[in-house]
Amino acid sequence: MKVFCILSDERVYGSKSPAMFSRVLQRIGMQGVYVPFKIDPQNVGKALQSLRILNIAGANVTVPYKEKVIPYLDELSEGANIIGAINTIVCSGDTLKGYNTNAIGFMDALNDAEFETAGKSALVFGTGGAAKAVVFMLNWLRAGAIRVAGRNPAKTAAVANRFEGQACSIDELLEQPVAADIVVNATSVSSPKEAPQLAALVEKLRVPGCELIVDLNYGRCQNFWQDMARRNDIRFMDGLPALAYQARRTLALWTRVQVAPGEFLNALKDT
């Protein structure tokens, strides 16, 4: 019996990953369980050590620990090292190796949406681990101008400069229409209750010619990113396709078993 898990703060209980992975493991006949673990910030190091002690086969890491766990890992994949954030840990004996399947999962989701990235302009909201994965992949897919918007100037500049993007403050986006073929929300907020100020800003944001709005979050009763897409007749995609595709890549790292992405997408429909 293999034990897999996901590490986060209290938001771990809102994740669809446990139900998704559990259904997929059952469907493919693999003996395994996938459980959520709520970790307090001061216990991140202890949590990583516990993976070794408890012989956990593999772990996912999500907001807010995608960057904070890195000092406690033994190795990083090349991609994870470049991105500077991880979402997947492979446990092999006492060795913990970090990977980033968020970036390639995002790419797979864009391919599924038949969005051609090369030469397109992009606007990415966020400065955390998810934003790093998105901006990295947009750059790798040869997007045109990539603007990174955030509240913290230093963090915004760090993410933008890391991947040849352009940093901007969120407030300055209202000064004039923004050229963006794709808008990606890589922050952890999507509902007005979570971020009323950002919701008000997004309501005023003008992106003429935008083809696709992607929100990496999911499960919000009210979603101001989706509302923006509806008002402007822009295609919208939430985070479930990216979740399914990154999960497929993650399971392959943990078990070396290749599972069709449809299995994960179908599992999400059942949750």
Domains and CATH numbers, the chain: 2-99+241-270 (3.40.50.10860), 104-237 (3.40.50.720)
Cα separation, 48 vs 73, in Å, equals 8
Q: Pairing between strand 88-92 and 95-99?
A: antiparallel
Q: pLDDT band for position 219 (50/70/90)?
A: very high
Tokens of 190: 């999507």
For the cut 90, the answer to whether the pLDDT of residue 271 exceeds it is: no
Residue-level pLDDT at 270: 81
Number of residues assigned to the chain: 271
Average pLDDT over residues 2-10: 98
Site of tokens 């993976």: 51
pLDDT tens per residue, range 42-100: 999 999 999 999 999 999 999 999 999 999 999 999 999 999 999 999 999 899 999 99
Catalytic residues: 66
Host H or E run for residue 152: none
Give the percent of the chain with pLDDT over 90: 98
pLDDT tens per residue, range 190-214: 999 999 999 999 999 999 999 999 9
Q: For residue 252, report the phi and psi dihedrals to the nearest 5 degrees.
A: -65, -35
Are residues 239 and 218 in contact, defined by beta-carbon separation less than 8 angstroms? Answer: yes
Are residues 225 and 215 in contact, defined by beta-carbon separation less than 8 angstroms? Answer: yes
Find, among 242, 252, 188, 189, the residue nearest to 212 by Cα.
242
DSSP helix/strand/coil, 68? coil
pLDDT tens per residue, range 21-37: 999 999 999 999 999 99
Tokens of 158: 């760090």
pTM, two decimal places: 0.97
DSSP helix/strand/coil, 259? coil
Q: pLDDT band for position 181 (50/70/90)?
A: very high
Tokens of 187: 């922050």
